Structure 1
Amino acid sequence: MKRLLIFLLFIISLSNCENNKKSTHNKEQDSKIESGYHNHKKVAELNKKGIEFSTESFDKAIKIAKELNKPIFIDFSTSWCGPCKRMDNFVFADSIIGDFYNENYICLKYDAEKGEGITLANKFEVQVYPTLLFLSPKLEIKLKHIGYKGPEEFLKLGYNAVNKELSFGSVPNSLSKYNSEIKNLIEFSSFVAYLNPSEKDSVLFDYFQDISQSKWYSSQYFHLIENHSYSIFSPLSKFVIANRNKYSELFSKARIDKFISGLMLFAINTPKAVYGKSYNNLSDDEINKLLFSELLKIDSVLANKNRLNHEINLLCKTVRENNNDTKIWDSLFTKVGYYNNHYLHLDKEWNNFLNDWSHRASILAPINLEIANYNETCMKRAKSKLAENDYNKFAKGLSIGTVERFVSIEKQSRNSKKELTIALRILAESYSVSKIWANDFLSRINVSDEDIINHKEAIIKNAL
């Protein structure tokens, strides 16, 4: 319990900063913190009646809103946004929140970087996530909030947007208790995030020992497991795997499969870190064989998927240093082709875009951009082997990777500028990038070359 005591001290130090009062860590304080979790007995039920987001298209949702004379609530998020996930698991999942929003709003949810979400994010000038948008049935913007809101604050937003008053004293008592619990959970989550990866599993498990096991199935506590688990062999990871069917029913099979697959990939990438010092006497081959045999017992499909993905990523790095070796290129194309035929459908289902040609090509970008005609050579090989759609992803990924490499190197040479110019030209002429990426990386290119400046301007103009 030593690590748990460290966290309790961490919470108390936060309280000191906020209230400017001195406090000591004692049994009474521990009791108060513990009671904040155990007094609220229905947390496991909260994810059953949260906000019901409509699956209708935006046009159809507008029509429904006008017919029912209901305002519209839209949550704009992205797959990588941490505060967005906290909203999903800690706020939208609450039954009191769900009761109010389901009754008073047509609720919509969009990934601002996918499908219809891209168009709507541009329409309503959404650039930061999460963005919480409240519209009248006539699409007038009643309220637009950027960033995370806790349960109480989010409920008040909903009341204010429909011109209803909600005084602090009239907030349901159960929601106030839940709101307090969520604040503690988020503080603990922030604490764990700063730990060394090897410490996270034991700290999490110590913490969960004081939590009723029924709560381990709630969205709030699974969020902690999902975001901070390090080893696939940790007690909490094993608990999820042992109760995989129940978790899949609660959170979808795709989400649980993605969680297990992510732990597998981490284990395959760093097997000795996962197993610990007791296995240091084994050779790399021995520990890899042992690890893979264990992963096969958990899920043979996911184990084979992640082993192949690991091999492909290693090949990408090998190609980067031997880009004229035809055999290595052929091996890469063959393995990726097999992966795409057997496992790519899982990545699409999980919204995991790290295993397509765009990501793989970004790995191929050379470290220092000093290899003459590197991009041109790679593009020619890819064009001769890949279908048009995959080639487009390859060209975009390699170009993005080249730009990111350029801004990271200290000394810029004639060849690095040449490779950068090629990459920017390809992006400017053929592919759109996100505004966030464009603002982040293009702003760091301090080169006076006219072609580079023109390409940068074109990319920014067309950014999504």
Structure 2
Amino acid sequence: MKNTVVTIILLFIIQLSKGQGIKFENIDLKQALEQAKKNDKLVFLDCYTSWCAPCKLLDKNVFTQEKVGDLFNLHFINIKLNMEQEELRPLAQNYRISSYPTLLFLDANGKMLHKVAGNMKAEDLLNFAHIAISEPEKQLNTLNKRYNEGERGIVFILDYMETLKYASERTMMVQVSQSFLNETEKSAFLQAEVFDFLLLSKALTYKSDVYNYIVDNKDTLYATNGIGKDKFNHVICTCIKSHLQNQARNLDIDELKNVVEQSKTDFKLSNQLMFEAELFGNWYLQHQQYDNWINQIKTSANAMVAVNKEAAYLFLIQTTYHISKDPLFKTIDGAFDEGIILLLKAQEIAGDKISHYYGLANLYYLTGNKAKALESIKRYEHINQEHKGQIPEHFLKLKSKVVEM
């Protein structure tokens, strides 16, 4: 009878632990490695910080899932380390941690087998864990070794770059990208596999030999199976945007506008007007030329309306949201009034939408106009009732603040 009770209790404990997600041990890395050796397991190390929003999402939504816990608790000693601690700096340097969360899969000797960074779905985390457990050919450690031994085949390089991207190994990505560009014949970029490297690496430099070669062979690349217009345009657009954003840091506004015009001789971006509006607008904001900034916004919006009303509407909505949320605009006289004008312009373009009234209520609240804010809130509630929608929490909070004005 006594043995039966003990068995039942043990089975209950096992079942209880199965549904609890990842069980993180309250020990340091040295102790975790010792336990891993004793239990013939690997170590899973969650490197986080207190201010990291993706860390919190991973902790709340992924680590708590039963299927995740079942795999990790079986194969790993799991620990978490707050990387804000001064004594953990050497660890961050040793494992080349540059962003959070970074998830390390280590063997019992502390050797890094695999590494990934950022928030992710449970299925992706499980896939990375399986790589660490039983797929050494896909592990970052293995790929690092193959690269250091001189392997440079295009299939390998693409796999390696993808793995480096997941690991947030930005410095290594740049090194691999530049080396590959320098060592590869320009004509090779007419092949789909090699062109995909440019798509993945974003390493193409404006007006470089490879860039000029690709632009000169645009028609060929458009017609190439596996590349086509969309891939070509994406690679060139990314390159030009990066170049112009870098130039904006060092040029005055007239010089910047000249550089933008020059770039159009090679290729015109599909969203050229919106990109220019944001590029020039950001320049004016950074140089505290606020009157020029608002004039740029209005000029750009009018130009967009003539070409693409949907793009103009989206631009105005994004701009007014920026005005209402960025603390900078609290210091600029008349910024919220200008935001109201822009939002009313968006309303002219797209008609009566519920989202406009939330934005208007918020901006009127920020200007201290209680009557107009309440009018917008009333209109929001009326449209919401017509569509039988739920009132979101952020609207209720805004309404409460307006009523208390």
TM-score (norm 1): 0.38
Q: Which has the higher contact order (CA 8 A, sep 6+)?
A: 1
Larger Rg, first or second structure (1 or 2): 2
Which TM-score applies when normalising by structure 2? 0.43
